[in-house]
Amino acid sequence: MTVRLYDTKAQALLDFVPLVPGHVGVYVCGPTVQSSPHIGHLRSALNYDILRRWLAHRFGDVTLVRNVTDIDDKILVNAAAAQAAGSREEWFALAYRFELEFTAAYRALGILPPTYEPRATASIPQMQELIGRLIDRGHAYAAADDSGDVYFDVTSWPAYGALTHQSVDDMQDAADADPRAKRDPRDFALWKGRKADEPESASWNSPWGPGRPGWHIECSAMSARYLGPAFDIHGGGLDLRFPHHENELAQSNAAGDAFARFWVHNGLVNVNGQKMSKSLGNSIYAADLLGAARPLVVRYALGSAHYRSTIDYTDSSLAEAEAAVSRIEGFLERSGRRLEGTRFTTAAVPAIPDEFGEAMDDDLGVPQAIAVLHETVREGNTALDAEDLGTAAAARGKVLGMTAVLGISPNEWADESGTAAADALGALVTRLLDERQAARAAKDFAVADRVRDELLAAGIQIADTPSGSRWSLGDK
């Protein structure tokens, strides 16, 4: 068993071995809570949820840290705009409101909560300590204009650009702060002195004057706080490679921290063949998705592609996902009923087929793994048709194992209302089947056919077997 992951920095597939045997440390850049979550946010969080589940399966314990950026230029700008329009909501209240939206969307999609979910505003002392180390080492400087700004000196660190394989001479100017006090326009902000038009509540005292952290320093400080100066995997969207992750790597290494051993980046989302953007007006928000289909179906639609690929969300994406999920659910429902009370019930033990494991070990090959899942569903249904209950039970166990790793296990998604509905449906169908069987025994075929036709009209298929009549939803 060898897990291989594509490392962005090495630009190659590498064998992954945890720093600490039996334990994996993962840091994922979470949302900047300036507005509602969209499909890209969900796709990214879902990809790392699947990665986390697989790493836990292979290695045991996984500590996953996903931060919340709750102080940022855009948050302050959006709050100010809302207040100008008559809102009384403070910037921190706006940030918290959107944070709750993200949390609700993640929970709806079955994304496991992170081990730690630190907010940037709760780690200000750690950020200031890291900035102080950089100044002491000659890699950062306080602005000479008494603005309170502190910048990272990119020319002081020869390895700057190592993540994205760029030369400093080819890089664009950093646009995250006023360039007036910079020694080099490419230097990026570590600390931002408070501006006169910003709320006093959005600043903290520091050795360089009141202000707030720059965006990049947040993740370096929080990852070290919760995972230590060296950890296994740093993840995030492909759009974060530069400047965000490049700057994280530079400032952490320059401060003396080894930082992340693997850099993993997920692909982006297009909508009907176009890049999603506000200017095109084609953004799809979490509320839109979760209102258009069952959350389980949304999870399948966003999680079935390879994590590094760009996915194209189209008008048919959810319908295709619904059909695929229904095939899996149909087999599990059908096999569960047929095996109940037989000696094969205990044989349906969750298991991971070798082919599935090989696909997942190969840079989280979810498309290939899902192909194994659906082939197992097909084999299981064929076995049920042939009354080969031993093979059907083995297939059921494999499907249960694979769906658990992918986060689409019926056990994980079952809720009280769904269970009640399934129980009610089962009781009604069983009563009708008993009525049909009694009619057939009495040779009242008109009544037997009527019951069968009523069930078919309701989308319930009947299969007559030597051991009795079996039913399933749809064409399973």
What pLDDT digit, counting tens, does each position of 288-316 carry? 898 899 999 999 999 999 999 999 999 89
- Residue 303 domain-assigned? no
Structure tokens at 293: 């289909």
Which pLDDT belongs to residue 162? 96
Which pLDDT belongs to residue 214? 95
| Rounded average pLDDT over 413-439 | 62
Q: Flag whether pLDDT at 420 surpasses 50.
A: no
Which pLDDT belongs to residue 345? 84
One domain for residues 427 and 408:
no
- Residue 294 domain-assigned? no
Give residue 2's identity as a one-letter amino acid code.
T
3 state DSSP class of 34: coil
**Residue 21 CB neighbours (<10 A):** 8
Confidence category of residue 59, pLDDT binned at 50, 70, 90:
very high
One domain for residues 192 and 333:
no
- Residue 204 domain-assigned? yes
One domain for residues 217 and 321:
no
CA–CA gap between residue 333 and residue 327 (Å, rounded): 10
| Rounded average pLDDT over 208-225 | 96
Q: Report long-range pairs for 351-357 (Cβ below 8 Å, ≥24 apart).
A: 351/394, 351/397, 351/398, 351/401, 352/57, 352/398, 352/401, 352/402, 352/405, 353/398, 353/401, 353/402, 356/398, 356/402, 356/405, 357/1
- Which range, 368-372, 422-426, 472-476, is most confident? 368-372
Among the residue ranges 33-47, 195-209, 386-400, 426-440, the one predicted with the least confidence is 426-440
Q: Flag whether pLDDT at 344 surpasses 60.
A: yes
- Residue 296 domain-assigned? no
Which pLDDT belongs to residue 416? 39
Boundary of a domain, candidates 381, 397, 413:
413
Average model confidence (pLDDT) for the chain? 91
Q: Flag whether pLDDT at 476 surpasses 60.
A: no
pTM, entire model: 0.86
Q: Flag whether pLDDT at 97 surpasses 80.
A: yes
Residue 354, exposed/middle/buried by CB under 10 A (0-12, 13-18, 19+)?
exposed
- Residue 299 domain-assigned? no
- Residue 177 domain-assigned? yes
Which pLDDT belongs to residue 427? 57
Q: Flag whether pLDDT at 421 surpasses 50.
A: no
CA–CA gap between residue 262 and residue 6 (Å, rounded): 8
| Rounded average pLDDT over 226-254 | 97
Q: Flag whether pLDDT at 432 surpasses 80.
A: no
Q: Flag whether pLDDT at 472 surpasses 80.
A: no
| Rounded average pLDDT over 240-268 | 97
One domain for residues 163 and 199:
yes
> Residue 34 sits in a domain of what CATH number?
3.40.50.620
Of 48, 55, 7, nearest in space to 28 by CA = 48
Boundary of a domain, candidates 266, 282, 309:
266
Which pLDDT belongs to residue 176? 84
Which pLDDT belongs to residue 445? 83
Q: Residues near 17 by Cβ (< 8 Å), separated by ≥ 6?
A: none
What pLDDT digit, counting tens, does each position of 360-388 carry? 999 999 999 999 999 999 999 999 999 99
Which pLDDT belongs to residue 61? 95
One domain for residues 145 and 161:
yes
Choice between 252 and 429, residue whose per-residue pLDDT is larger:
252
Which domain, by its residues, includes 398? 317-413
Which pLDDT belongs to residue 452? 82
Boundary of a domain, candidates 266, 295, 328:
266
- Residue 113 domain-assigned? yes
Q: Flag whether pLDDT at 26 surpasses 70.
A: yes
CA–CA gap between residue 342 and residue 153 (Å, rounded): 71
Give residue 406's identity as a one-letter amino acid code.
L
One domain for residues 52 and 188:
yes
In the sheet where 211-213 sits, what is the strand order? 140-142, 150-152, 188-193, 211-213
> Residue 324 sits in a domain of what CATH number?
1.20.120.640
One domain for residues 138 and 110:
yes
Which pLDDT belongs to residue 17? 96
One domain for residues 380 and 447:
no
CA–CA gap between residue 457 and residue 260 (Å, rounded): 58
- Residue 172 domain-assigned? yes
One domain for residues 372 and 240:
no
Structure tokens at 201: 């509540």
Yes or no: say if 325 and 408 are a contact pair by the CB < 8 Å rule.
Answer: yes
One domain for residues 77 and 205:
yes
Choice between 147 and 259, residue whose per-residue pLDDT is larger:
259
Choice between 418 and 471, residue whose per-residue pLDDT is larger:
471
Do the bridges between strand 3-7 and strand 12-16 make them parallel or antiparallel, or are there none, so unpaired? Answer: antiparallel
One domain for residues 12 and 135:
yes
CA–CA gap between residue 82 and residue 392 (Å, rounded): 59
Among the residue ranges 15-19, 105-109, 322-326, 429-433, the one predicted with the least confidence is 429-433
Number of domains in the chain: 3
One domain for residues 339 and 453:
no
